Amino acid sequence: MMMVNKTKAWKKLAEHYKHIKNVEMRDLFDADDNRAAKFTLKLDNLIFDYSKNRITERTIKHLLRLAQDTGVPEKIQAMFRGDKINFTENRAVLHTALRNRINTPVLVDGKNVMPEINAVLAKMKKFSEAVRLGKFTGHTGKKLTNIVNIGIGGSDLGPVMAVEALRKYWAKGMNCYFISNIDGTACAEVLNKIDPETTLFIVSSKTFTTIETLTNARTCRKWLVDALGEPAVAKHFIAISTNKKEVEKFGINPENMFEFWDFVGGRYSMWSAIGMSIALVTGMNNFEKMLDGAFSVDKHFRETDLEHNIPVMMALLGIWYNNFFNIKRYAVIPYDQYLQYFPAYLQQLDMESNGKFVDADGKVVTYSTGPVLFGGAGTNVQHSFFQLIHQGTDIVPCDFIIPAISHNEIGNHHEILIANVLAQGEALMRGKTEKEAAAELAKAGKSKDEIKLLKRYKSFTGNRPSNTFLVKKVDAYTLGQLVALYEHKVFVQGIIWNINSYDQMGVELGKQLALNILPELSNNATGIRHDCSTSQLIETIKKMRK
């Protein structure tokens, strides 16, 4: 396949960029009172306003042609069909099947996987309800009210993000904790907060061999056994895995093992039994509502033409800035405290998926792929990195997320929050000229010398892009929609860049080398060659630990 930057559509976009790169968004808005309506898309109660971007209708026309020419419509259908689009691992990519709420057959190697998926969902519902109602109790008969999820990567980031986002729906008296980091502090801090008699551990590892997860799980197992004895393990541990032999060896009742499948990648596994912590803490009804919300986006993504397709438009705007404006970063800023972990979750989704330099034909790409993503909850981040976003030398496109209604309507807090997010988008777009800054300073009674000194410092270049997602309220359905939108956005960008968005081989090398270093730290290995820096650090650390 021809590299995308050699295609006719790409070249037309490059030519178009020369004509639009200096166009001011404030001028585009001043010239068209209908601009917001032209560049707004809706799905249920979710509104995507992308009018504050450095685009015209001609830009969109060229971007849509790029999507057509790179086969986006066909490859969307191939994913839903169960084709093995994860070509480096020869796997289908079917996290969408996990939320297939109309239960149409989904075939993998000629077999309909929906009966297995539905069986696991039913098993999740039965178990989570038994725990929540006190029918499944701990070893001493006490109700299990402390849920501890032990996982890493997708087995942690998705559940912790969703559980926090849905905190308002937590069952009364129930708490949820997450252990992912191999740093012993992560484990110790959780164990210091909980009671062994009322704690249920979820060990989330597909292979049940992940070193970080299993090390943490064994530490928690020892803590439990020291307190309650060996037989307690079967009543206080469950597993999300496919390795029945290792699960049983650990002491977990195989009836309390919940499986998932090779066609579900780690960073997409929240929709599977990996989401057990969500079901336990917020209720299976909310977990299913989250599936419903994601399914509504899947349907929209699969059936809507490219021009009105929200994930496609999100992806194309990202391509526009990444590959033509040479802006290799963007920020996601939810103005909702419950979504504070959403940017961290998206970091893995985006950067692990599209941080690739080899294309589907095995060639080294000659264009930029995955951007750097960062973010945090507004208004907190307005007092951290917004200085750079407004006046820094590098442009950072922003995605703002705001609910019209808060879960906690206290005084006028939410009105102030909404005013802030709307002001940020407007300020980034319009900026403030030196002339406008000088007029403001004069109005404030500043002298001519003060105005001359301060007007440039008080000016803002503006013309900085942002998207705004407006939702009615952050509930389980809306959360499912938001996550699915970004999932599909990342997929579309991977299609256009001609890379595999569904493997993550870049995480392997460091892990391999760590396995070599580990025995050296325990003085159990010799003769392993490293660079002089690594060898020196190993020896120094060993001396310090003595």
DSSP letters of 509-530?
A: HHHHHHHHHHHHHTT-------
Please tell me the pTM assigned to this model.
0.96
pLDDT of 347? 98
329-354: burial string, b at 16+ Cβ within 10 Å, e else: ebbbbbbbbbbbbbbbbbbbbbbbbb
Phi and psi angles of residue 257, each rounded to the nearest 5 degrees, phi first? -105, 130
Mean residue pLDDT across the chain: 96
- In this model, does residue 370 exceed pLDDT 70? yes
Catalytic residue among 135, 193, 511, 542: 511
Residue numbers of the domain that contains 244: 95-288
Question: Which of the four pLDDT bands, split at 50, 70 and 90, describes residue 511?
Answer: confident
Mean of the pLDDT values across residues 454-476?
98
Structural domain includes residue 336: yes
β-bridge partners, 176? 147
Structural domain includes residue 23: no
Q: Are residues 264 and 340 in the same domain?
A: no
Q: Are residues 228 and 360 in the same domain?
A: no
- In this model, does residue 13 exceed pLDDT 70? yes
Structural domain includes residue 74: no
Q: Are residues 496 and 525 in the same domain?
A: no
Question: Which of the four pLDDT bands, split at 50, 70 and 90, describes residue 546?
Answer: confident
Q: Are residues 248 and 384 in the same domain?
A: no
CA diameter of the chain: 81
Q: Are residues 265 and 383 in the same domain?
A: no
Question: Which of the four pLDDT bands, split at 50, 70 and 90, describes residue 289?
Answer: very high
Structural domain includes residue 539: yes
Distance CA 59, CA 12 (A): 10
Q: Are residues 242 and 351 in the same domain?
A: no
Structural domain includes residue 80: no
Catalytic residue among 352, 487, 488, 489: 352
Percent of the chain at pLDDT exceeding 90: 93
Structural domain includes residue 125: yes
What does the pLDDT look like over 142-201, one tens digit per residue? 999 999 999 999 999 999 999 999 999 999 999 999 999 999 999 999 999 999 999 999
pLDDT of 455? 97
Q: What percentage of the chain's residues is helix, strand, coil (to nearest 5)?
A: 55, 10, 35
Mean of the pLDDT values across residues 457-480?
98
- In this model, does residue 318 exceed pLDDT 80? yes
pLDDT of 436? 97
What does the pLDDT look like over 477-503, one tens digit per residue? 999 999 999 999 999 999 999 999 999
What does the pLDDT look like over 375-400, one tens digit per residue? 999 999 999 999 999 999 999 999 99
Mean of the pLDDT values across residues 335-342?
98
Minimum mean pLDDT among 19-23, 310-314, 539-543: which range? 539-543
Catalytic residue among 18, 172, 245, 383: 383
- In this model, does residue 520 exceed pLDDT 90? no
pLDDT of 524? 67
pLDDT of 526? 66
Q: Are residues 341 and 413 in the same domain?
A: yes
Structural domain includes residue 28: no
Q: Are residues 265 and 345 in the same domain?
A: no
DSSP state letter for 6: G
The label of the residue with tokens 């290799």 reads 328
The encoded tokens of residue 216 equal 């943490």
Question: Which of the four pLDDT bands, split at 50, 70 and 90, describes residue 407?
Answer: very high
**Number of folded domains that form the chain:** 3
Mean of the pLDDT values across residues 195-218?
96
Q: Are residues 426 and 533 in the same domain?
A: no
pLDDT of 528? 76
Q: Are residues 337 and 224 in the same domain?
A: no
Active site residue 352: yes
Mean of the pLDDT values across residues 299-319?
98
- In this model, does residue 2 exceed pLDDT 90? no
Q: Are residues 330 and 468 in the same domain?
A: yes
Mean of the pLDDT values across residues 312-318?
98
Q: Are residues 248 and 361 in the same domain?
A: no
The amino acid occupying position 524 is: N
- In this model, does residue 505 exceed pLDDT 80? yes
Mean of the pLDDT values across residues 394-422?
98
Question: Which of the four pLDDT bands, split at 50, 70 and 90, describes residue 527?
Answer: low
Structural domain includes residue 324: yes
CB neighbours of residue 403 within 10 Å: 23
Active site residue 511: yes
What does the pLDDT look like over 263-288, one tens digit per residue? 999 999 999 999 999 999 999 999 99
Distance CA 270, CA 279 (A): 11
What does the pLDDT look like over 242-259, one tens digit per residue? 999 999 999 999 999 999
pLDDT of 1? 75
Last residue of a domain, one of 240, 261, 288: 288
β-bridge partners, 432? 460
